[in-house]
Structure 1
Amino acid sequence: MMQTIGHCSPKLYLAVNLQSNLLHRIVTRFTVLRTPRFFGLLLPSSGTKVPFEPLNQFSRFVSSIYTRTMSNAAFVHGNDWKETTHLNHVNGTSTSCLGLEDENPVLNLKQVVIVGKMTRYEFEKHRFNGCTEDEFRQAVESRGSDYDSLYAQHLKHIQTLSSIKDVLSERGIEYKVCTRGKSHTVDLINWADAIITAGGDGTFLSAASKIHDQSKPVIGINTNPNRSEGHLCLPTKYSTNLGKALDKLAAGQFRWLWRRRIRITMTGISDNFRPIHNGDMLRSRMSNTALSSLDEPEYVHRHDIITEVPQQSYNTSGIRSQVLPVLALNEVFIGESLAAVPSYYELKIDDHSSEQQKSSGLCVCTGTGSTAWSYNICRLPESAIKRVLELAAQNVSVNGLPHSADDNGSKNCKIPELSNKLIEQVTHSYSQSYIYEPDSDDMLFSVRDPMQNRVFTCRQCNGFAKKLIIRSRCWDAALCIDGEVSFTFNDGAVATLEMLPSDALRTVQLLEDDTNSNPENKPEQTTMT
């Protein structure tokens, strides 16, 4: 007789971590069964039925496999068990979907794509295309920039990139090289076992934006750690020793780190769905010439879209809702294109009522992005913390009661002296309170410079949410994803932000070698790839 259960049983080899919404282990074959009275999983090995109803996270996870990965699988109707169709575990015995985590993961690479960055030297050369090297040097130095330093950083990147290729060749790993924002295509991603980024966090974000296959891990190498500080690449010691990192991957000395990403569902007209590649637009404007052709024809320039103030007529018949093709690994920023123009929008946080706001823009980040731009938006400088503590000391006595003032206006109690150490500790604690785990399903929203008056309010300048709905009231605004791609977001457009398990990015976190300095053999905290 088949047994129906409500939650996971040890017999099912299922372990659900409710805190992180991860499924750590799962049998390699299962059946999706739909009958008039039941919709869930059938585990052939034990004949046990697992209904979807009590396992909402599991239901969404299986649905993601069904709709995106297993094209030959099908849900079935009927009462006969033989009419069911098996869903095979992706990649056989290896973990390849969110929530699946091997106890002893191993990553043996055979084919990889290396996504390299465009160095500042190359970017500047593009601006002065056609100049000789001496002319280029003069142009750079005329702006007060250091040509020699610019060229040295370029050579450092080229050297590290060459070293990466040598290490892969020595190990018999086939590789293909492409440049960020150029030949980095979906076909290349499909060909590779993994993606190695060679650059900094920006290159990592650019590469990740095109990855929707959860079986493809992304590994970041910082090619110039002395000039670039980030959190997405491997620790800097691996920048010149990729071989050691590959040895760890082959030996299973790592864990999978599933970085959650923000999915954006846009509701609007056709212009709202045309992606704008920010890098191409910047290069075009700085060179003061329009690019005759784009490396990625699906991206267009913002000035090609917005040529005049929107007309009063609005074709409501063309309004539709659609999930944008790019997921946000770091953050989504919504605001007017001109920094001096206030951004006007309506914000709805989870199940709360919407609120009209005017501000310098809205930033919504993931746990991964909580150490990036969002961190600097939320944090307060020591001078501000010091002032707050001073005001608190002036208004609260030792016993927690307000101070009283005498006839001369002086306080009756002496204000305690604030030590620099206390100010540093409070500043650090406050800043750290806005940093959280990359695999968290919470989004952190931050309203920049909110306007507060009788018309516009901001009940909460920053906080955590599961779902955000933003309706634009802007004139010339953009919704920018990871600083890489933007979408027009003018009056009437609506963006719904949420994070789904099926959208997470597979990355690795290397384990520490030195057991003396790390007796519990915990993953390196700085290894966030």
Structure 2
Amino acid sequence: MSRWIPRQVLVLSKLTPLELLKFRNPDIKEKQLLEQFSRQGKNPIKVLHEHRSQLAFEAKVIKVLRKFKINFRFTKRMVDASKYVDWADFVITTGGDGTFLAASKLIRDNITPLMGFNSTNSSSNLTLPTQYTENVEKAFKKLFAGAYKLVMRSRIRTVMYGKGLYSHSFLVNEKNRTQGEKIIDALIRSTERKVADAMQPQIRILPWLALNEVFIGEFVAAKRTTLIIQVDNNPQEYKFRSSGLCVCTGSGSRSWFRAINFKGRETIQEIVALATNNALQLDDKRAALLMQKYLNHYVFDPEEQMIAYKIRELHRASTWPKPKDLQDVQMCRKVTVKSLSYDSGLIVDGGVSLPFNHGARATFEIRPEDALKTISLN
């Protein structure tokens, strides 16, 4: 590949827990903030160490950019990053998979490349190998020399149909819609929303493309969600209850989707023993290998123009699902889902969420123009 040096780089960096607390409490000293972590059961020494390590890594990346005389803008704020993303011809993240996913939401074309550094030396499915955490300059030298591979990671386009599609989105960890409100205030706001919704279109292409997965489920974990699913061009609809539905890409097949499919070692051993009438007893090592083989069966290439769905904890009873031949995990090209739930959400990459309640419908599919251009180094 020919030599390429980006002209304008946007660096989106991870916001540490200590920084977040400082932003929310600008008048409180660091020592007092660390005491708050202690009261929450967190080790303040570890929190401070992670904070300083993150800052040191950011300084390392900035030093390399300056050494190569590259024009860049550095931010930890999504608001600022959204302003600069159209200015940049290259986007870099310093953090982990979460920061990478956040940056991917900002890039809506398949032209601007994204590369992620893992600032913590932890395992990652999306960022560069940890050898480049220790040697940031080496990564840039490879990049400028053309010693890299472009990976066009597929992303899920979500189209929603129904009422209330333009409700304000929120982060999953900020789900707290009416707590502290007076009932009359909540009713007034509800009425205002319904009037506003009636004036809005009843179809919406979500502006957030899912790099890993879209998950549908009730916000109260103990409640089952009731959905209707239709796959590809098959006219058959299946009605089912479960603890949620995960629709993923090839990138996501290595993430939450994999965890949902995971079975414990003891479960594998028991199934094999029952299937063979105790003729075959797997030791721990063989059970682990069999489990790994099973999980690998559902891993597919990030560039694959396919999606997979997994029904989490499918409720099976005398009348569920309807019809009974519903597959709880399947590869396909398009999924359509209708909601029969009352407090559920559609969650993109574990972050942004919108209400997905009774009567709402959504389709999930992959299109080449929605791919995310990412940089992979050997």
Same fold by TM (over 0.5)? yes
| Equivalent position to 1:278, from 168, 171, 175 | 171
The amino acid that maps onto 2:137 is G
CA distance in 2, matches of 1:305, 1:136: 37
1:8-87 equivalence runs, <5 A: none
Change (3 A) 1:506 1:135: same
1:394-424 CA deviation, whole Å, 9 max, x = no partner?
A: 0xxxxxxxxxxxxxxxxxxx72443333212
The amino acid that maps onto 1:478 is G
Offset at residue 231 of structure 1 (A) = 1.1
Change (3 A) 1:494 1:142: same
**Aligned counterpart, 2:129:** 235
Please list every run of 5 or more consecutive structure 2 residues that lacks an aligned counterpart in the other structure.
none
CA distance in 1, matches of 2:187, 2:135: 45
1:25-76 CA deviation, whole Å, 9 max, x = no partner?
A: xxxxxxxxxxxxxxxxxxxxxxxxxxxxxxxxxxxxxxxxxxxxxxxxxxxx
Offset at residue 124 of structure 1 (A) = 3.7
Offset at residue 333 of structure 1 (A) = 0.5
- Which one scores higher on RCO, CA 8 angstroms, separation ≥ 6? 2
**Aligned counterpart, 2:149:** 255
**Aligned counterpart, 1:35:** none
The amino acid that maps onto 1:276 is S
Change (3 A) 1:415 1:151: same
Conserved in 2, the CA contact under 8 Å of 1:275 and 1:485? no
Is residue 345 of structure 1 aligned with residue 227 of structure 2? yes
Conserved in 1, the CA contact under 8 Å of 2:165 and 2:197? no
Moved >6 Å (runs of 4+): 303-317
Offset at residue 139 of structure 1 (A) = 2.3
Indicate the SS of the match to 2:309.
Answer: strand
Conserved in 2, the CA contact under 8 Å of 1:261 and 1:503? yes
The amino acid that maps onto 1:110 is R
**Aligned counterpart, 2:36:** 139
**Aligned counterpart, 1:370:** 253
Is residue 452 of structure 1 aligned with residue 316 of structure 2? yes
**Aligned counterpart, 1:430:** 294
Indicate the SS of the match to 2:338.
Answer: strand
The amino acid that maps onto 1:133 is E
Change (3 A) 1:149 1:358: same
The amino acid that maps onto 1:196 is I
Conserved in 1, the CA contact under 8 Å of 2:7 and 2:70? yes
Would you tell me which structure has more helix in proportion to its own residues? Answer: 2
Conserved in 2, the CA contact under 8 Å of 1:472 and 1:493? yes
**Aligned counterpart, 1:517:** none
Conserved in 1, the CA contact under 8 Å of 2:168 and 2:354? yes
1:380-402 CA deviation, whole Å, 9 max, x = no partner?
A: 111111111001110xxxxxxxx
| Equivalent position to 1:223, from 103, 109, 119 | 119
**Aligned counterpart, 1:168:** 65
Offset at residue 144 of structure 1 (A) = 2.4
Conserved in 2, the CA contact under 8 Å of 1:443 and 1:465? yes
**Aligned counterpart, 1:477:** 344
Change (3 A) 1:162 1:381: same
1:356-505 equivalence runs, <5 A: 356-394=239-277, 415-457=279-321, 459-505=326-372
CA distance in 2, matches of 1:309, 1:328: 31
Change (3 A) 1:368 1:105: farther
1:65-115 CA deviation, whole Å, 9 max, x = no partner?
A: xxxxxxxxxxxxxxxxxxxxxxxxxxxxxxxxxxxxxxx254311210000
- TM-score after normalising by structure 2: 0.90
Structure whose CA Rg is larger: 1
**Aligned counterpart, 1:159:** 56
- Percent identity for Structure 1 against Structure 2: 30
Please list every run of 5 or more consecutive structure 1 residues that lacks an aligned counterpart in the other structure.
1-103, 291-302, 395-413, 512-529
Conserved in 1, the CA contact under 8 Å of 2:265 and 2:284? no
Is residue 264 of structure 1 aligned with residue 158 of structure 2? yes
Change (3 A) 1:389 1:247: same
Higher mean alpha-carbon deviation, 244-253 vs 203-212, is at 244-253
The amino acid that maps onto 1:388 is I
1:484-520 CA deviation, whole Å, 9 max, x = no partner?
A: 2111111111101000000000011113xxxxxxxxx
CA distance in 2, matches of 1:349, 1:310: 36
1:186-214 CA deviation, whole Å, 9 max, x = no partner?
A: x4112111000011100000011110122
CA distance in 2, matches of 1:468, 1:354: 11
